[in-house]
Amino acid sequence: MFKQAFQQYKKKNPPPDLQDVIDVDLYEENKITSHSWHNLVKPVHISESAFIQSEARLRQAVGLQPEHLWRCYQLSNHPGLLLIRNPFTLSGQRYWIARGLRDYSQPPYVSNLDATKFSPAALSNWWQELQNCSNNGDVKLASRLKVAMRWTTLGYHHNWDTKVYDEAMHSTFPSDLASLCEAFCVTLGYTNFVPQAAIVNYYPIGTCLSGHTDHSELNHSAPLFSYSFGQSAIFLIGGTTLNEKPSAIYLRSGDVLVMSEASRLCYHAVPRVMTTDQEPWNIVESKANTSKENDDVGNMDTNLNNALDSKLFEKVKDELFWQPFNEFIRESRINMNVRQVLPMGMHQIPT
């Protein structure tokens, strides 16, 4: 039943009927009574009162709104699955999009780019070479470069052939992405989570990701955090076998999906990436909010400033600097999914 649902939402001609795709925006607007899924969505209330000031500052430091503004949902038929609807600020969305394109695509992180098909310049700095080709009018090469980048791995590299992690294939995990995960752990009450591996997927509109489970990690009890930016997607979440009918959920820019407990080892997929009906990374914020965000970042503790690339955080607010990132993300979706590889107390993969 999972494969059947995947093919249903993947097909292009004729386009699929999307009325059964869970849309939490319709839930918020009380427009869901006619949908078959309306009894599955359960709001999760996040209280601000339990958190101390330093924890609130951590959230602000990584581009998140105060948690009392978060809209969090769970699905009654998928225990452990949480969807947080765009908890990011405008600058926060732009920052993580830029990090994913400019920085996480470079060595020492591992990418899918084929050394036999692209120059050393493209392999060492894909984003810069893409901009050079675009600026030089080499449209054909720029187009090839753009669609060629499909994934990178951060921290522990997941070997796609052996389906295992290897201690020898290991780079330092980005401190800012680790801080982002920490902010969600603090807010949601997850303890002892250590971000050790991430896969950054780059999806052009019209592409997909087939059904699979994330079982290669030695630690299956820790949650998996999935951050979406750019164009919209349909996400399928099923059960532990392909025989179970999955639920389909809209994921939009800024959404955070958390897979924990029973949902951690369930089959999931992205059968459809499609044009979004809104661009929250370009919504102009009020001067008061922008000023407050500047003050929050400027007043961060030293250890938080070290986690964030504060220069990039400021640059993405400049429309000229932001333009090439904006052009890319208008045709693509970026997904960063972070997980813990090792059980607590274990410091390396056994040989």
The CB density around residue 162, as the number of other CB atoms within 10 Å, is 9
For the record, the structure tokens of 292 come out as: 């407050």
Q: Does 212 show up as a binding residue in the annotation?
A: yes
CA 202 to CA 238: how far, in whole Å? 23
- In 3-state terms, what secondary structure has residue 294? helix
Distances in Å between the alpha carbon of 232 and those of 7, 235, 241, 261?
A: 18, 10, 26, 26
CA 273 to CA 254: how far, in whole Å? 15
CA 318 to CA 320: how far, in whole Å? 6
Compute the Cα dihedral for 99, 100, 105, 107 and give only its sign.
positive
Alpha helices in the chain (DSSP H): 2-10, 24-28, 53-61, 90-98, 120-124, 126-135, 139-148, 175-188, 287-298, 302-307, 310-315, 319-329
Q: Does 214 show up as a binding residue in the annotation?
A: yes
**149, amino acid identity:** M
CA 133 to CA 142: how far, in whole Å? 5
Q: Does 277 show up as a binding residue in the annotation?
A: no
Which amino acids are annotated as binding site, given as ranges? 212, 214, 268
Binding site residues for Fe cation, as ranges? Answer: 212, 214, 268
